[in-house]
Amino acid sequence: MIAKKLQKLVPGLVIHGYDLPRWRLSAPSPAHLRVAGPELTGNLFDVRHVAGLMNAGWIDGAHLTGFSLNMSNFGSREECSELFQPPSESPPGFGKDELVIHVRGEDILTGGHPDYGPLPIQFYVRIVAQTGLRPVFLGQIQEGRYLDEIRRAFPDAQILPARDVLADFQTMRNSKNIVLGLSSFSWLAAWFSDADRIHLPVFGFLNPRQRPDIHCLPVDDSRYSFYLLPVRKWNAGPDDQAALYDQRLPIEPIAAGEAGRLLRRGAWRIAPKRLAKRVLLTAQCARAKWAVGAPGRTGPTGAP
């Protein structure tokens, strides 16, 4: 998605070196290719800045080595969704009377990344009560206390067994009402979808107070409802586990405008880091340009 945005900004740019067969997307890099350009990774680089360096002739390419969780580096939702078409008929989604809830479980229940982790059960209780819809749970679901508490809270819920990840992705994508887990997987499925309503927990890596470098709050998309939860650094310890089942957890519905203010405050906090990234990237490009243009050095296509 980032590469396609860059291609749109840089006329004639060619994208290669990716292989996503399940989405019918593949373009190997030519064996002889040499490109003088920086490595783009993390969330701090600006694709428009990179495009400017390319259009100015400072670099002839760049290496995308990671997924940036920064919506400003993506194209439009329609453009991005069109890229990812499944190779076979998609499973149907759920209709307007169901609420599809993605569960991020398995390894994350016992550790993992501090900005991820499972959602408190009370969050699901709040959304189900608010909407009055029939809950359908899918994702990384396994036996254990977390699933037991889901069953206890929602005895009539439909719980889909663990299955192929593409089937889960497309089921969410084709559904009308979606509750996100702390997962870029469910975030993308919901964003690509034509859902009527998407419930997004401003929590973990989705909370700008916790991760100001990440921008995954679609504040201009009227399909989204936002819910602010406390900052939590998940380590799966006893206190974290107990909090998953705490019915007193504060959950604050917030308007898109307030979510936007959270993003802007986060952006101010990391402005020096973004500037440092910009300066470093420009310096790397200057060195690459010198290396290609210096006497006796080889150009990017192998010609002197």
Which pTM does this prediction carry? Answer: 0.90
First to last CA, the chain: 34
Question: Which contacts (CB < 8 Å, 24+ apart) does range 75-80 have?
Answer: 75/1, 75/4, 75/5, 75/8, 77/191, 77/192, 77/218, 77/221, 79/4, 80/1, 80/4, 80/191, 80/192
Q: Residue 200 is which amino acid?
A: L
Of the candidate ranges 172-176, 232-236, 264-268, the one whose mean pLDDT is the lowest: 232-236
Residue 7 CB burial class (10 angstroms; 0-12, 13-18, ≥19): middle
* Alpha carbon of residue 77 to chain centroid: 13
Say what percent of the chain tops pLDDT 90.
64
CA atoms within 13 A on the CB side of 33: 14
Q: What is the pLDDT of residue 196?
A: 98
Confirm if 217 and 201 have CB atoms less than 8 A apart.
Answer: no
pLDDT at 148: 93
> What's the confidence (pLDDT) of residue 107?
64
Residue 73 CA to residue 92 CA, distance in Å, equals 30
Contact 201, 227 (CB under 8 A): yes
Q: Which residue has the higher pLDDT, 41 or 162?
A: 41
pLDDT recorded at residue 11: 93
- The 10s digit of each residue's pLDDT in 203-262 is 999 999 999 999 999 999 999 999 999 999 999 889 998 999 998 889 999 999 999 999
**In the predicted model, is pLDDT for residue 65 greater than 90?**
no
pLDDT tens sequence across 88-147: 788 899 999 999 999 976 666 676 789 988 999 999 999 999 999 999 999 878 788 899
State the pLDDT at residue 289.
66
Asked if pLDDT for residue 8 goes beyond 90, the answer is: yes
* Closest CA relative to residue 197, chosen from 249, 138, 130: 130
Share of the chain above pLDDT 70, in %: 91
Confidence band for 294, pLDDT divided at 50, 70 and 90: very low
Every domain of the chain and the residues it spans: 2-85+271-293, 98-267
- Which CATH class name applies to 98-267? alpha beta
Residue 85 · residue 24 · CB < 8 Å? yes
How large is the average pLDDT for residues 144-170? 92
How far are the Cα atoms of 106, 115, 245, 247, 285 from residue 238, in angstroms, in the given order?
A: 17, 17, 12, 16, 48
